[in-house]
Amino acid sequence: MPKMRILIADDHEVVRRGFRSLLETRPEWEVCAEAVTGREAVEKATQHNPDVVVMDISMPELNGLEATRQIVKALPKVEVLILTMHDSEELVREVLDAGARGYVLKSDAGRDLVAAVDAVRRHKPFFTSRVSEIVLDGYLKRNSHTGKEGIRLSRLTPREREIVQLLAEGKSNKEVAVALNISVKTAETHRANVMNKLGLHSVTELVRYAVRNKIVEP
């Protein structure tokens, strides 16, 4: 019987090493690849076709939510488990809308990671207890009021969300163009559209917005 293959995506080597040691306590599992950026996670998922991706949200170049969207779209049979330090209701909604099957707080990883991976590989959802409370209190009440920022974020296209992250990380229009393999003019157009949609007037405001919405780390 072939081993269950896992891709670990986190930008901290110590964290990846810790997750690997936890997961490889199961002899029938193997970590087939590791990624340190969201973009690399998408590339390695496509290359290695793992059964499960263990994904941090706060990743450079492309955050875990966008990486999850791209992986789920390209590889529908791959399950994604999100690991994060954050547990806001808005973030839980974003994670589930991105197509992830599970959501585990990093503070609970030592206790829950193996069980979470075991659940999602069988295509079952898994949430740590705190996240389950949020799901019950907020996500299942979709008719309740959504904050203005959440509405504005949902108006952005996947490419525009990538632009937000790259700009918030300090990239110039030329660097954005190179990263996304588009022309500088197209990058400038995307930037103008993003600022207009979000009602922002400076890169400083964009950075604050990106930090508040967990697109980048402060």
Q: Encode pLDDT of 95-143 as tens digits.
A: 888 899 888 888 888 889 999 999 999 999 888 776 666 665 654 454 4
| Homologous superfamily of the 4-139 domain (CATH) | Response regulator (3.40.50.2300)
Which pLDDT score is estimated for 151? 44
Q: Is the distance from CB of 9 to CB of 60 less than 8 angstroms?
A: no
- Selected residue with higher pLDDT from 169 and 134: 169
Both structure tokens of 190: 């995307």
Number of continuous H segments (helices) and E segments (strands) in the chain: 11, 6
User: What is 148-212's CATH number, 3.30.70.580, 2.70.70.10, 1.10.10.10, 3.10.180.10?
Assistant: 1.10.10.10
Whether 192 shows a pLDDT value over 90: the answer reads: no
Fold: same for 4-139 and 148-212 = no
- Selected residue with higher pLDDT from 95 and 146: 95
Residue 144's pLDDT band, with cuts at 50, 70 and 90, is very low
Identify which of 37, 107, 23 has the alpha carbon closest to the alpha carbon of residue 67: 37
- Selected residue with higher pLDDT from 156 and 60: 60
List the chain domain ranges.
Answer: 4-139, 148-212
User: Nearest-5° angle of CA 23, CA 37, CA 147?
Assistant: 95
> What phi and psi values does residue 109 have, to the nearest 5 degrees?
-60, -40
Give the chain's mean pLDDT.
84
CB neighbourhood size of 63 (10 A)? 27
Which pLDDT score is estimated for 138? 54
Q: CA end-to-end span of the chain, whole Å?
A: 45
Identify which of 191, 95, 99, 200 has the alpha carbon closest to the alpha carbon of residue 149: 200
Identify which of 47, 96, 30, 48 has the alpha carbon closest to the alpha carbon of residue 68: 96
Residue 154's pLDDT band, with cuts at 50, 70 and 90, is low
95-134 b/e (C-beta count within 10 Å ≥ 16 → b): bbebbbbbbbbbebbeebbeebbebbbeeeebbbeebeeb
Residue 213 CB-half CA count within 13 A: 27
Which single residue is written with the structure tokens 């999602």? 120
How many whole angstroms separate alpha carbon 126 and alpha carbon 94? 16
Whether 169 shows a pLDDT value over 60: the answer reads: yes
Between β-strands 79-84 and 102-105, what pairing exists: parallel, antiparallel or unpaired? parallel
Tell me the torsion sign for CA atoms 38, 40, 46, 48. Answer: negative
Q: Is the distance from CB of 35 to CB of 41 less than 8 angstroms?
A: yes
- Selected residue with higher pLDDT from 59 and 1: 59
How many whole angstroms separate alpha carbon 191 and alpha carbon 87? 29
